[in-house]
Structure 1
Amino acid sequence: MGSTAVVVGGGIGGLAAAIGLRRIGWDVTVLERAAVLDDAGAGISLAANGLRALDALGVGEVVRAASRGQYTGGTRTPGGGWLSHMDGAALEEAVGTPIVGIARAALHRLLRQALPAGALRTGTAAGPVRQTGPSTVRVEHGGTGLEADLVVAADGIGSTIRRSLFPSCDGPVYSGSTVLRAITEHPMDLRSDFELTWGRGTEFGHILLPGGRAEWHAVLTLPAGTRFTDPLAELHRRFGHWHAPVPALLGATRGDAVLHHDVYELRAPLPSFTAGRVALLGDAAHAMTPHLGQGACQALEDAVTLSAALATEPAVDAALARYDAERRPRAQAVARAARQAGRMGQQLSHPVAVALRNTAMRLTPSRAAVRMILRHHDWTPPRLR
């Protein structure tokens, strides 16, 4: 069994993979092309499966301490009517934890702190990856290269490694949605931990973070590349008449704090998450829309499953085959479910279809709603030795 790995990409999935591999005794180097880790990003929700993966990696306790549980809230209409209520206590009873909210920057910092100094190399763009022998692979970077027993491609939705390994596979596709988000400048006096509000082809949501500040996001159905001269003013125009606390959340935000990204996904599933001694992980393998809040959680599942397979299988090739067999069906199923959730949620725009969906949601018992959530949240990680 080999014991050296290069992880390409220092995001959530890449850092988690590095932590997991180090826990099973591997020597790991992470290459991150960004020269400065500015901790950009707003907030993120972590469900039970993501938290259990973090527990397996040994960082669950510190992440929980930096998070806030989502116990109250639900889904609403722009006028303020409730379509469904969140029952965080029922989720906690079922799986041992509520969904939690954490600032993405805080999660990144905690994952980086779990690695030794020097393991993460910033300002280092990875070049071509090539197999140099039956059990070795080489990553070019900065005019030199690193040879290892394994390369983990965690280089995001635009993964150059994925493109080189599967040139005939379709690349990222625009989902039809674009998202603007930010964290409020100061703490908010909000009545609920988490809310989603669905309009026609639009969504506005918030999560409360530790300390009382809130992360909010606005999702719009627009052509790719649409940008606004003054994004915050545009959001006030579109959402300023929606129910409280939507206008207050926008009013508590600096204009220069608003991030704007188009949402892309890997709509065509990959035939494999591995090729030779390379394992694809996170968005590089299964980039999905955010409508189930499972993108980061699935990347964390990847990291634990890969590490466990390498810890228990007799050879790297066997471990990679097991990783692909265990992760690809589940991750691709969650990606399909996220796409469908978007079509029935934020992207739904026909007034009759919206009315039918809203009626169905109001009539769905809370226990049935919890069972639907648990289809994706209730995951038990393999043990890392």
Structure 2
Amino acid sequence: MARIERAIVIGGGIGGLTAAAALHRRGVRVTVLERAGSLEPVGAAISLAPNALRGLDVIGLGDDVRALSAWQGDGGLRAPGGRWLSRTSAAAATERFGGPLVLLHRATLVGHLAALLPSDAVRTAADARLLDPGVPGDSGRPARVGTPDGELEADLVVAADGIHSAVRRVLFPGHPGPVYAGFTTWRVVIPLPGVEFASHETWGRGRIWGTHPLKDGRVYAYAAAVAPAGEHAPDDERAELLRLYGDWHTPVPDVLAAARPEDVLRHDVHHITEPLPAYHHGRVALVGDAAHAMPPTLGQGGNQAIEDAITLAHHAGDLSAYTAARLPRTTGIARRAVKVARLNLMTNRVGVAVRDNAVAALSKAGPALFLRGFDSIAGWRPPQQSYASQHTTQSNG
């Protein structure tokens, strides 16, 4: 295995910062190059499942994030009129998967990750471009990255530059890249005092909605709907949400009444349908959306980026082993996310009725059956020893 002493991470999002923290833990000198003027992410909340939390254990952050879990009691899947299609609970999920599902604001997670790095490791307003992927091996040539302040060389470059990754286009110029997934999403994080509700996701006809509490007292709500690419509301996106979801069950109207137009973020969903031939080339490795952008319907985009980052730090001197560990798993999860999107955004009226009845019947057979499909995802374990406490290691066993 080649020695890795110097690494450059392109992109200061969750995948990039996790990779930087994991490499720093292993004694690698790391520089993170973030194009934006700050690390404050554009986005809302992120759901972290036990697989990602075990990855964060490796860098000593898992227990801190678990403490941010706000989901207590029952929750589940509903129909727009309010009927429960399935019920589960935080306790059932924790027992089955060996740990909680934690929902937190992306900015909170980014702050925790950045705090693990030396103060001079992150450079913002640093638009980076890959000049040479380099040749691996101790006798090979380093990778070269161009920045506004000049060129940098490294033994390893981590490309965490997102779904429209410029590095991916350089490494694999013949790859078609991401395509429109057929639906758009909205996200809102707001205070909602005085409104009690159970954590839920609601499936309608070509539309979904979710409402979940955050530890800081705010509420995270998201929506998705089948729509043409590039479409925007003629007035504002809050008004569009009122038109689409205003007559759905409580607390959906309460969220929309409390939200301001500027609180609503809208983004079309793009994903990579044709898997890359590899997640590395030369001394460069792709992580997160740059490697395998997927629909958000399994809530695994950020989770898989964390898995990538931890696995990459373990295999930093042998990138072929990184690809071998990550490409099959992420390809399978991405395909499952596409299938789930087809199911929960179904537009055929008869199909929706059949779907809802099938989900309700499955739920009546027992919550364990409904959760079982997530086992292979949530059960992932990192390829290296955790830095977490013995208590956490045992509780996840």
TM-score by shorter chain over 0.5 = yes
Q: Which residue of 1 aligns with 2:119?
A: 117
The structure 1 residue matched to 2:183, chosen from 167, 174, 177, is 177
Partner SS for 1:184 = strand
Q: Which residue of 2 aligns with 1:303?
A: 309
What are the within-5 Å matches in structure 2 for residues 94-105 of structure 1? 94-105=96-107
Q: State the Cα distance separating 1:188 from its structure 2 match.
A: 5.2
Partner SS for 1:128 = strand
Q: Which residue of 2 aligns with 1:203?
A: 208
Distance in structure 2 (CA, Å) of the matches to 1:70 and 1:379: 24
Distance in structure 1 (CA, Å) of the matches to 2:251 and 2:352: 22
> Is residue 288 of structure 2 the alignment partner of residue 282 of structure 1?
yes
The structure 2 residue matched to 1:161, chosen from 157, 167, 176, is 167
Q: CA deviation digits over 1:269-295, x for unaligned, max 9?
A: 101001011000000000000000000
Gaps of 5+ in 1: 311-315
Q: State the Cα distance separating 1:112 from its structure 2 match.
A: 1.1
When residues 144 and 270 of structure 1 are mapped into structure 2, their CA distance, relative to the original with a 3 A threshold, is: same
Partner SS for 1:69 = coil
Q: Which residue of 1 aligns with 2:395?
A: none
Q: CA deviation digits over 1:323-344, x for unaligned, max 9?
A: 1001000011100000100001
Distance in structure 2 (CA, Å) of the matches to 1:372 and 1:218: 23
Q: CA deviation digits over 1:33-63, x for unaligned, max 9?
A: 0013344321111111011111112111222
Partner SS for 1:291 = helix
The structure 2 residue matched to 1:361, chosen from 326, 338, 359, is 359
Distance in structure 2 (CA, Å) of the matches to 1:140 and 1:373: 41
Distance in structure 2 (CA, Å) of the matches to 1:205 and 1:131: 42
What are the within-5 Å matches in structure 2 for residues 7-26 of structure 1? 7-26=9-28
CA contact (8 A) 1:175 1:264 kept: yes
Distance in structure 2 (CA, Å) of the matches to 1:31 and 1:208: 33
CA contact (8 A) 2:179 2:271 kept: yes
Partner SS for 2:191 = coil
Q: State the Cα distance separating 1:104 from its structure 2 match.
A: 1.2
The one-letter code of the counterpart of 2:22 is G
Gaps of 5+ in 2: 387-397
The structure 2 residue matched to 1:215, chosen from 210, 216, 220, is 220
Distance in structure 1 (CA, Å) of the matches to 2:34 and 2:124: 5
Distance in structure 1 (CA, Å) of the matches to 2:315 and 2:39: 30
What are the within-5 Å matches in structure 2 for residues 84-95 of structure 1? 84-95=86-97
Partner SS for 1:25 = coil
Q: CA deviation digits over 1:221-267, x for unaligned, max 9?
A: 10111111211112112211111111001112122111111100011
Which of 8-17 and 229-238 deviates more?
229-238
Pairwise CA RMSD of aligned residues?
Answer: 1.4
Distance in structure 1 (CA, Å) of the matches to 2:341 and 2:194: 28
Q: Which residue of 2 aligns with 1:313?
A: none
Which of 35-44 and 50-59 deviates more?
35-44
CA contact (8 A) 2:44 2:189 kept: yes
Q: State the Cα distance separating 1:296 from its structure 2 match.
A: 0.5
Partner SS for 2:315 = helix
Partner SS for 1:216 = strand
The one-letter code of the counterpart of 1:6 is I
CA contact (8 A) 1:70 1:101 kept: no
Partner SS for 2:60 = coil
Q: Which residue of 2 aligns with 1:333?
A: 332
Distance in structure 2 (CA, Å) of the matches to 1:103 and 1:35: 19
Distance in structure 2 (CA, Å) of the matches to 1:299 and 1:286: 9
Q: Which residue of 1 aligns with 2:348?
A: 350
CA contact (8 A) 2:185 2:224 kept: yes
Distance in structure 1 (CA, Å) of the matches to 2:242 and 2:377: 34
Q: Which residue of 2 aligns with 1:250?
A: 256
Q: 4+ residue runs of structure 1 moved beyond 4 angstroms?
A: none
Q: Which residue of 2 aligns with 1:266?
A: 272
Q: Which residue of 1 aligns with 2:5?
A: 3
The one-letter code of the counterpart of 1:217 is Y
Partner SS for 1:241 = coil
The one-letter code of the counterpart of 1:220 is A
Partner SS for 1:7 = strand
Q: TM-score, normalised by structure 2?
A: 0.92
Q: State the Cα distance separating 1:220 from its structure 2 match.
A: 1.1
Distance in structure 1 (CA, Å) of the matches to 2:26 and 2:320: 18
The one-letter code of the counterpart of 2:328 is P
Q: State the Cα distance separating 1:132 from its structure 2 match.
A: 4.7
Q: CA deviation digits over 1:85-113, x for unaligned, max 9?
A: 12321221122212111111111111111
Distance in structure 1 (CA, Å) of the matches to 2:38 and 2:283: 29
Which of 124-133 and 351-360 deviates more?
124-133
Aligned residues, how many?
376
Q: TM-score, normalised by structure 1?
A: 0.94
Q: Which residue of 2 aligns with 1:226?
A: 231
Distance in structure 2 (CA, Å) of the matches to 1:150 and 1:384: 22
Q: Percent identity?
A: 45
